Structure 1
């Protein structure tokens, strides 16, 4: 138990350091490439911080445990939308300037698509390929059609693109290390406390693999980079469904576990709808709303624990 607690503390420190490195690198990359920090958060940071989910879900698919893979995708998206956005708003209110509503609409659309695929019991290799094709199309479309509202005031970053990229990659590496060591410690404690593997997968593993997003978004919001914070959350949700879901479907080409349709995928879609409404209509995600998002996440977690 003592070693597990030490692992959790080391993981938290690594997450804080990795988040700062990643944000500095991401801002530098955005400045040097002439793109917005929102685009960087959506495409680059969203992809990078989704790698823990990718590894966990692919490993589960390879051992023929798609329930864990899809449960991780659902749990991670719920963590992104409710836990990460809520915690980030508590740390520093996120000022919205019309940014990201198109991307939130894409996130809502792919969440609803996943819910429909599950309810209809569709599953095949070609559906997986189609999900990956949708992701590629989204990235190309997003790069070719930026909006003025996506832009933020430039902040001086590293002098060279290679240094900015090095900071970004290094930050991701430290985040993944911190997330892994924290999750391992948490799983050890949960096992000692008698939690089931399913609940561990839907809660601790899903939350743990979302820790890089939490650290990155929290640091970005604290440093006044709302585009990076929002882009990271929305982009990660899109990657989780289209990239990780697509790869999982290709590796295990059969219907998504139906038990996820009634609650978890409904919460995934509902939280995606909430993000779209906030970005389309809201001006600020303040601490009060952040607390409500965290309360929703806590309620979902309690439900999972009571339902095991």
Structure 2
């Protein structure tokens, strides 16, 4: 099992670094091609930051381990809300009155309900995958349209875009892209192999490993970013990132993974994990609609709920 643990750690590290390289290369290539920074931020950056999770899910499908692919996404969405919002709230209150995220939240709930419906209708195959990707295209189209309509007064957007570097040369952009495109599948392969080995050695179903170890691992960059922001008194940035990430996880990652092979949803996920994911998503509604902050008490509650969920999964899996 030691070798498998090393594979998991190496895979996670490679995914984080390679994902960062890919984002930097793709952002600067898009800007050099004349694509508006606003559009780049909503598309290239969003896809790039989700690339590690996407590669893990695709690698799992190709390796005939679809339960890990599904667990990665469903578990990540649950962890994003209960952990990525819960832990920073312990450090600093997360305000909800500075940005109106109600429509984005409704899109997240819509994406969750769409996936749950498709999960109960049968395995996620290419037709269902195309439905998920079509829903993503509609959401992106609306977001880009709204963003472009409110673009006035944003002269500094080029400098604010994550990963943008006006002085980056073509050779450096190409190097970042190549390293990212090579590193991501390698990291994903290490992570999936290591996670599968741990599951076999510990006698735990692969779905449980996907919902816990893989899901938490691929959510670590978002968690680290949110905790850093909370320490700087900017914990509110985590809320928009979590909602956007959850939408991409369901529609983009599972949509792409479903094109590479069928994704049969285990009965355990249908009876528990899908509803935990949806329930966690619904928990943040009162805060958004009443414009109330996530306090330390909220953080304790969210973190405790996640701990109870993981313990229940391990107990059931064992």
TM-score, normalized by the shorter chain, greater than 0.5: yes
1:295 Cα deviation (Å)?
0.9
What CA deviation, in whole Å up to 9, does each residue of 1:244-267 have, x standing for no partner?
111122222464333311110001
Higher CA-based Rg:
2
1:122 Cα deviation (Å)?
5.7
8 Å CA contact retained: 2:75, 2:212? yes
Gaps of at least 5 residues in structure 1 are: 22-32
What CA deviation, in whole Å up to 9, does each residue of 1:142-178 have, x standing for no partner?
1211497xx99x8986995456xx8xx89xx7xx899
What CA deviation, in whole Å up to 9, does each residue of 1:68-89 have, x standing for no partner?
2112111111111111111121
Gaps of at least 5 residues in structure 2 are: 22-35
Aligned-partner Cα distance in 2 for 1:133–1:238: 13
8 Å CA contact retained: 2:88, 2:235? no
Q: Does 1:263 align with 2:253?
A: no
Pick which of 1-10 and 252-261 moved more. 1-10
Aligned-partner Cα distance in 1 for 2:108–2:280: 10
Q: Residue in 1 aligned with 2:61?
A: 61
What CA deviation, in whole Å up to 9, does each residue of 1:95-123 have, x standing for no partner?
11243221111111111111111123264
SS of residue paired to 1:256: coil
SS of residue paired to 2:85: helix
Distance change (3 Å), C-alpha of 1:94 and 1:5: same
Q: Does 1:290 align with 2:291?
A: no
Calculate the TM-score normalised by the size of structure 1.
Answer: 0.74
Aligned-partner Cα distance in 2 for 1:269–1:252: 25
Alignment size in residue pairs: 296
8 Å CA contact retained: 2:62, 2:260? yes
Q: Residue in 2 aligned with 1:132?
A: 133
What CA deviation, in whole Å up to 9, does each residue of 1:27-68 have, x standing for no partner?
xxxxxx7759xx95x756543332221111101111222222
Distance change (3 Å), C-alpha of 1:125 and 1:188: closer
Calculate the TM-score normalised by the size of structure 2.
Answer: 0.72
Q: Residue in 2 aligned with 1:212?
A: 221
- What's the Cα RMSD here? 4.5
1:2 Cα deviation (Å)?
9.3
Aligned-partner Cα distance in 1 for 2:74–2:95: 27
